[in-house]
Amino acid sequence: MSLDTPPPSGAITRDEVAHLARLARLAVTDDELDVFAGQLDVILGAVARVGEVAADDIPPTSHAVPLSNVFRPDERRPGLTQEQALSGAPAVEDGRFRVPQILGEEQ
């Protein structure tokens, strides 16, 4: 049986779990095959239920509630002059903040 088509009963078989484990190169014990088969069956059942709920008249959404833009519009406002900005600086050189050199000369 192909992995693309589910078994008639809808349950995942041990053989399918073993095949998936081989494809993923996982070492799976016989006990784990039974556990994983049950878990995968539950997962596929949940996915099938989600597919039943999705209707054509419901548009896809990315958020549960509508989003609105909360940003204010951009408006030009007067800012600080160069002198005002540099007035509180501990050191100024050539109209700029003077800071300690942290990197060596690179050429």
> pLDDT by residue (tens digit) across 23-42?
999 999 999 999 999 999 99
Look at residue 28 and tell me if it is in a domain: yes
The pairing of beta strand 96-97 with beta strand 92-93: antiparallel
Look at residue 86 and tell me if it is in a domain: no
CATH number at residue 35: 1.10.20.60
> Measuring CA to CA, which residue among 19, 21, 22, 25 is closest to residue 7?
19
Look at residue 65 and tell me if it is in a domain: no
DSSP 92: E
- Do residues 65 and 59 lie in contact, with contact meaning Cβ atoms separated by under 8 Å? no
Across the range 3-10, mean pLDDT stands at 48
State residue 59's pLDDT score: 76
State residue 28's pLDDT score: 92
**pLDDT, tens digit (0-9, with 9 covering 90-100), for 67-76:** 888 888 889 9
Q: Domain range for residue 20?
A: 14-53
For 63, the token pair is 């958020």
Total domain count, the chain = 1
**β-bridge partners, 97:** 92
Look at residue 106 and tell me if it is in a domain: no
Between CA 1 and CA 6 the distance in angstroms is 8
Across the range 78-100, mean pLDDT stands at 93
pTM summary value: 0.42
Look at residue 18 and tell me if it is in a domain: yes
State residue 33's pLDDT score: 92
Rounded (5°) CA angle 36-41-46? 125
Question: What is the SS3 assignment for 64?
Answer: coil
